[in-house]
Structure 1
Amino acid sequence: MTFSYTEDDADLGGLISARIELDRIYTHLRGDTVEYNDIVTNTATSFTDLISANIQSVASENESAWQDALMACVCAHGVIDQWISDVRWYRERIEEIRSNFTTAVTGLDNMTEYQQKEVMYTSQATQAYSELEERADECSDMLADGPTPATLRKLNEAGHVGNVAFAITGDYEYWPYDEESGEELGEMIANGEFGGDYEALHAAMVALAARAAEASQRGDELPEGELDFLEAVLAGTDDILLDLPDGFRGEPSDQQKNEIATFLGLSIVALSHESTGGGHDRLPDSVRNVAAGVQGGDGYFTGGPGRQNGGYDTWIEDAAGLMYLLDGATHPNGTPMELGSETSLKLTAAVSEVAGALPSEHNMYTTDITYTPDDEGNATLSSLLRVAAANEDANHALLTGSEEPNGRDAEEIFTDLYTFEWNDDGRAAAELTNWIADGETSHHPDEPDRSREALVGLMDIVTSESMQARLSSTGQEVEDSMTTIDKNGEEKTREFDWKDVSIGHLNPEIAGGFADIFESHVDVFASLDGMDGGNRIDDYPNSYEDGNVSLSMDSREAFAELIAGSEEAASRMFDSTVEYNETSLAEYMSAFNGAPDTDAAAQAGNLWSIVDTAVTNEADTRVQNHNGQVDEENKREQFILGLVNSYNPHPQASSAIGFLGGELLKEEHLKLTDTDGDHESLPRNTWVYERAQIHAIDGLAGRGEGYEDLIDPRMTPNNDSVSLNREDWFEFSEEERANREEEIGRSPSEDPLTDSWNSVRNREWPDDRSPEQRPDVSDTIDERGEAFDTPRTYVNDYVDTFSRYAAK
């Protein structure tokens, strides 16, 4: 056995002759004489610069065809150059391997060792030939594709076409970007030198930055020359980067200032993405310093009592400078472009650090740090967080615990972001998780799995016992007002501050985003997972496995309680719950086979139970946290009243039912007296009964044709609860009634539907007005009840389902 390799069959002489012939053709096209390599070294910057004066008029008449011919010639010339280089590389590589082999075996007497060397170096030769074949295929593909931007960029980076492709087309996709020209542009901007070659480089930068940023959003890789160019421009302007626009030197025009800021911002976006070939480490020092946060960055945290606030203010000033650049890095619809994952995570952590600068258990400098940004700083934090939150992959990594940016874990980050008093009501912070709601309807095959994994992570983070305590008692205050009726029947409005509110009350946009998640994953929240025989399983873990999410009852109730902090979000949660019940019933009825689907009914009831428990807990917590600022019962009823009146799941409900609901639950019907006078509290469970009643009314009056089978929850007036006794939901003939009375030892209901309407009509509403002052709604109730009289046979078919369609 001896060292062997495969010889290439390339004819270098023929290739060189073909290149010379292309030079000749190119010469004729230009109407000029050229030296060898003129194609590569030509410094022309426009089509007319390439064409000699004696044929310019002819060429201009059909410029497009002339350009096509020139580009084809340049492309073929470049590919031939590339193939010549590849063949020479292979031959030189074979000689290198042969030389190494000769050196390695010289003087070897051991045949086994000799053969091992033969195998090793022959393998290297084989590998080199395989690479030559790959290069040959690339050259063949480039010739087949013709002078595309991608082909010309490859040939330019290899040094085969120079500036000529741009000169022919005027298209900046063919510009020969490299580190050297990037350094030149960066130096010009930093020094305020806007003459000479600046305009050409400026235009090239504008074109590249936009194209590169768009490529980063698609996950496309950029040529190394373009990345080097962007990195060099950012590095060259780093000294003034975060001081713009005030930091501009020289006298750039307003248009130049705007374009510079935009292309620098787009460059940061493009260069931050690992997918383009960039990454966080390729960003300029100043940007990475901001992303490191106050305590992790240089020049911010100065230490010592009374001095830390200066560090936070300095960080916010730098963050504002960064946002000045990133403001121009947006999609056509105005939403921010995604930064790379690492950059996004670090900025999220940095914003949370500043938001949580008030003393907290996460901050080791609790005795001194009492920083709160002003309104402008608050807006800067919000804007920067909105940009950072645009990267859903980064958010997923944070939620699933795979990343701890700047040394901060997810609980620290979310605690500080959620308990901060945002001027935008938490809209930017909500973007960290809002995307979870969209995953279920995404057309991307990976999105549902990703959103479900994130849901489990979010639930683990925000519903743990320690986090629930922090998020339900933020230490913040919310301004509010309350209108009551005094003993003389006159309205009286006064303002007050809710104390130590929950995150949903403090930042309703966060609660609203959670409500969207609840709706999109409502099946998970209604599931009977974590239950055994009607009892919840202790320490049941949240999990995601094989496409299925399973959540504990405790975590579901805790999450729903965070939603209930916002009355608007809570009403949307009610909407989702009603819709889930209706859908479950519709599906059951369409597939009814005579045997009731008890699981479906139990899940509907389970969902009601979760929501009711959550609202009850939030109401109690809001009162307990408030420290007696306003009378307890007034605060409780004011919150519940607002919540119930905002509940309108069926906009098609008639004007009659709208009037009825308003009359039954309008503020004047509640015993909210002037605190200066005598106060008579409502029973603590009154609001539960009243809300259930309005659901019953809306259920009967608002659903319309096709839902005649849906009867309202059966109320038991004696204890203000819903009867779940199936017998109370049956309607019987006279003979059936007698049989049932004998069987159960009591008389069953004569007509549950009529009983329900009578219960509403005859309700003793809390009211201190005289009978003459009270509106008479009994006729309206009777009319609506008669309009939805349900045939008994239809009810009896589905009574097992209806009996469970309610929760206290």
Structure 2
Amino acid sequence: MTEDVPLPLSEREAMVMAGEMDEYLNGGREPDERFHEIAAALSAVGAKAALLQTANQARIGQPYEMSRFAPRLSEEEIEFLRTFYGELDEMTPNGLVHLMPWLEGDEGPDWGSAERDAFAAGVADGLLTLSDEGVGGGQYLLPERVRDFANGLPVEDWRERGLLDSRAKGVRSLNWLADAEDFARLLQHSDPGLHGGTEFSANVTLSTGHHLGHNDLAITQDREDAIGSLLEVTTRNESANHAVLTGGIEHPAARVEDSRYASEHMPDFGENRDALAGLYSHDWRDDGEAVAGLTDWITEFAKGTPGQAQMAGDATVGLMETLAGEADDRPFHDTQHQSDTNYQLAVTEVNPEIAESLTGIYLTYLADLTLHAESSGYDTIESGPSSLLLHEPSDKALFIDDATKERFVQLLIADVDSADFVTSSIEALEIDIINAALDSPHPEALRNAGNTTGGMRTIIHDAMIHEFEDRTGTARKRRTKRPLGGRRGSTSGSP
């Protein structure tokens, strides 16, 4: 298959296939060769979309005037998906969000595991394809109940629909997370090389963070594993991750008028920072591996095309500013989890996989962090060559103000493994700076080298001192002493 060859699909074919699939789903017809043809047709559209997404990867970060010429699915292929999924959502008892519990339960069709897996894979791939603006789709084309889920709205009539598993009246965040578990069981069948649309992926990621951070909810391991697999799917889309980190996409509750968001039992869906705090502060049993997908792409993109490097730089600015917080408002440094010596753990201690991802970003931009900046951004260097040691004039670089640097580094210092990387990286950085100064033809280079290394040493030193003060109670009297660099203790408030 090639990405520029149209598939023989249409709205009419979608109606025919949906009608036939209804017979299979209600037990009136046993899965046969035609059943597998329908599942294969959905997978074929997904496979073509995956090829298009790969071909369009180099266009990420380009201006709209250029990216709008990227190859897409045909209008007939998109209309096929829209029609088929609209019909399928109506013919299944509880819609596509809750397809898998029904499909695998006693009331579902009497299929073997091979038929269920083939059908689920085709449905999952087609849904992600239909949601993707980059191939001609979009969230607005998805069935209404899927859009509601992505937008953070739990199913209202769960009792009437028999969706009683781990749901409760008035606990709407818990109920949405139950919906998320159901939907994750479908999307985990999707092709790992296929991603959903930017709006859809960002909305689901933000909704997950807001609901996780809303209440101290008891979440079973199976549910947490499912939500982690859902985040693995939504963070495949780097443009969506970029939008979450930079604020390019806010949660729909901040953009639309909908009375369903006004319930007292719903999150307030405030800033993206609140959603990120919910994701990072949760004590994940996988140590935050799935959530780390939100940032793992940055180190690769930083070395990619100019457009990708710009995306990575902008995302890093948003990430560092968000995580740094303010002097009196630092939810990422002070989570609700406590160590065995009664001080509040940072997100990097709660979830070491997040610490590893953030440390990778720190090391990627370490040379840029030596640059003096009054404000933050990813921009062109305007300094003259005599003041530069690790850069060239007109290079693009990350500019971060010193206060943000120090608070970001403190998060890394809080985790013992990351702290080792931070301290050793400074020693290697100093050698690079001194060597560059010795090779420089500019007489002031050695003085600049001293100022640069001294400035970085000060940032690391201040971060270590502030972390020590936070732990010993010098800055916060409620904490008791624990030596800096000690290992993560037990937590309270964990699900």
TM-score computed with the length of structure 1 as normaliser: 0.48
Counting matched residue pairs gives: 422
Give 1:185 deviation, angstroms: 4.3
Residue of structure 2 equivalent to 1:450: 311
2:378 is the alignment partner of 1:544: yes
2:430 is the alignment partner of 1:581: yes
Name structure 1 gaps, 5 residues minimum. 1-147, 154-172, 359-369, 479-495, 530-539, 644-808
What is the correspondence of 1:104-115 to structure 2 with a 5 Å cutoff? Answer: none
Letter in 2 for 1:573: V
Please give the per-residue CA displacement for 1:593-637, whole angstroms capped at 9, x wherever unaligned: 7765211232122112211211221122123269466xx3xx22x
Residue of structure 2 equivalent to 1:403: 249
Residue of structure 2 equivalent to 1:181: 16
The answer to whether the 8 Å contact 1:415/1:467 transfers is: no
2:269 is the alignment partner of 1:435: no
SS of structure 2 residue aligned to 1:429: coil
Supply the distance in 1 between the matched residues of 2:326 and 2:3 (Cα, whole angstroms): 57
What is the correspondence of 1:89-128 to structure 2 with a 5 Å cutoff? Answer: none
Give 1:641 deviation, angstroms: 6.6
Letter in 2 for 1:261: A
Residue of structure 2 equivalent to 1:328: 189
Letter in 1 for 2:178: E
Residue of structure 2 equivalent to 1:308: 170
**Closer, same or farther in 2 for the Cα pair 1:403/1:182, shift >3 Å?**
same
Residue of structure 1 equivalent to 2:134: 275
The answer to whether the 8 Å contact 1:472/1:621 transfers is: no
Give 1:199 deviation, angstroms: 4.2
Give 1:453 deviation, angstroms: 1.5
Residue of structure 2 equivalent to 1:620: 469
**Closer, same or farther in 2 for the Cα pair 1:626/1:466, shift >3 Å?**
closer
Letter in 2 for 1:226: E
Supply the distance in 2 between the matched residues of 1:230 and 1:519 (Cα, whole angstroms): 43
Give 1:252 deviation, angstroms: 2.3
**What percentage of aligned pairs have identical amino acids?**
22
2:42 is the alignment partner of 1:205: yes
The answer to whether the 8 Å contact 2:9/2:77 transfers is: no
What is the correspondence of 1:643-662 to structure 2 with a 5 Å cutoff? Answer: none
2:239 to 393, 416, 419: 393
- Tell me: higher relative CO, structure 1 or 2? Use CA pairs within 8 A at least 6 residues apart: 2
**Closer, same or farther in 2 for the Cα pair 1:283/1:601, shift >3 Å?**
same
2:350 to 497, 500, 506: 506
What is the correspondence of 1:479-498 to structure 2 with a 5 Å cutoff? Answer: 496=340, 498=342
**Closer, same or farther in 2 for the Cα pair 1:190/1:497, shift >3 Å?**
farther
Supply the distance in 1 between the matched residues of 2:404 and 2:141 (Cα, whole angstroms): 41
Residue of structure 2 equivalent to 1:423: 285
**Closer, same or farther in 2 for the Cα pair 1:509/1:626, shift >3 Å?**
farther
Larger displacement relative to structure 2 (552-561 or 249-258) = 249-258
The answer to whether the 8 Å contact 2:40/2:122 transfers is: no
Residue of structure 2 equivalent to 1:223: 74
Residue of structure 2 equivalent to 1:261: 120
Supply the distance in 1 between the matched residues of 2:37 and 2:247 (Cα, whole angstroms): 47
Letter in 2 for 1:418: Y
Give 1:405 deviation, angstroms: 1.6
Residue of structure 2 equivalent to 1:194: 30
Residue of structure 1 equivalent to 2:146: 287
Residue of structure 2 equivalent to 1:128: none
**Closer, same or farther in 2 for the Cα pair 1:377/1:250, shift >3 Å?**
closer
2:203 is the alignment partner of 1:346: yes
SS of structure 1 residue aligned to 2:102: coil
Please give the per-residue CA displacement for 1:554-581, whole angstroms capped at 9, x wherever unaligned: 1110110111111111111123212211
Aligned CA-pair RMSD = 3.0
2:447 is the alignment partner of 1:601: no
The answer to whether the 8 Å contact 1:439/1:450 transfers is: yes
Supply the distance in 2 between the matched residues of 1:300 and 1:293 (Cα, whole angstroms): 15
Residue of structure 1 equivalent to 2:163: none
Residue of structure 1 equivalent to 2:62: none
**Closer, same or farther in 2 for the Cα pair 1:307/1:212, shift >3 Å?**
same
Give 1:584 deviation, angstroms: 1.6
SS of structure 2 residue aligned to 1:544: strand
Residue of structure 2 equivalent to 1:566: 415
Please give the per-residue CA displacement for 1:656-681, whole angstroms capped at 9, x wherever unaligned: xxxxxxxxxxxxxxxxxxxxxxxxxx
Please give the per-residue CA displacement for 1:322-346, whole angstroms capped at 9, x wherever unaligned: 2122112233xxxx63210110111
Give 1:413 deviation, angstroms: 1.3
Supply the distance in 2 between the matched residues of 1:511 and 1:580 (Cα, whole angstroms): 21
The answer to whether the 8 Å contact 1:149/1:174 transfers is: no
Please give the per-residue CA displacement for 1:694-753, whole angstroms capped at 9, x wherever unaligned: xxxxxxxxxxxxxxxxxxxxxxxxxxxxxxxxxxxxxxxxxxxxxxxxxxxxxxxxxxxx
The answer to whether the 8 Å contact 2:185/2:226 transfers is: no
SS of structure 1 residue aligned to 2:398: strand
Please give the per-residue CA displacement for 1:452-472, whole angstroms capped at 9, x wherever unaligned: 112222232222316852222
Please give the per-residue CA displacement for 1:76-125, whole angstroms capped at 9, x wherever unaligned: xxxxxxxxxxxxxxxxxxxxxxxxxxxxxxxxxxxxxxxxxxxxxxxxxx
Letter in 1 for 2:73: L
Give 1:274 deviation, angstroms: 1.0
Letter in 2 for 1:619: F
Give 1:194 deviation, angstroms: 3.4
Residue of structure 2 equivalent to 1:242: 97
Supply the distance in 2 between the matched residues of 1:596 and 1:404 (Cα, whole angstroms): 45
Supply the distance in 1 between the matched residues of 2:241 and 2:429 (Cα, whole angstroms): 29
**Closer, same or farther in 2 for the Cα pair 1:597/1:378, shift >3 Å?**
same
**Closer, same or farther in 2 for the Cα pair 1:459/1:313, shift >3 Å?**
closer
Supply the distance in 2 between the matched residues of 1:401 and 1:352 (Cα, whole angstroms): 14
Supply the distance in 2 between the matched residues of 1:176 and 1:640 (Cα, whole angstroms): 61
Supply the distance in 1 between the matched residues of 2:328 and 2:354 (Cα, whole angstroms): 15
Larger Rg: 1
**Closer, same or farther in 2 for the Cα pair 1:400/1:596, shift >3 Å?**
closer
Please give the per-residue CA displacement for 1:247-267, whole angstroms capped at 9, x wherever unaligned: 233322321111001011101
Supply the distance in 2 between the matched residues of 1:343 and 1:568 (Cα, whole angstroms): 35
**Closer, same or farther in 2 for the Cα pair 1:517/1:206, shift >3 Å?**
closer
Residue of structure 2 equivalent to 1:382: 228
Supply the distance in 1 between the matched residues of 2:8 and 2:320 (Cα, whole angstroms): 50
Supply the distance in 2 between the matched residues of 1:595 and 1:203 (Cα, whole angstroms): 67
The answer to whether the 8 Å contact 2:3/2:52 transfers is: no
**Closer, same or farther in 2 for the Cα pair 1:241/1:194, shift >3 Å?**
farther
Residue of structure 2 equivalent to 1:23: none
**Closer, same or farther in 2 for the Cα pair 1:251/1:468, shift >3 Å?**
same
Letter in 2 for 1:247: W
Supply the distance in 2 between the matched residues of 1:385 and 1:468 (Cα, whole angstroms): 27
The answer to whether the 8 Å contact 2:9/2:76 transfers is: no
Residue of structure 2 equivalent to 1:8: none
The answer to whether the 8 Å contact 1:462/1:468 transfers is: no
**Closer, same or farther in 2 for the Cα pair 1:553/1:208, shift >3 Å?**
closer
Please give the per-residue CA displacement for 1:177-204, whole angstroms capped at 9, x wherever unaligned: 7333343344234424335743443443
Supply the distance in 1 between the matched residues of 2:25 and 2:328 (Cα, whole angstroms): 47
1:516 to 348, 357, 360: 360
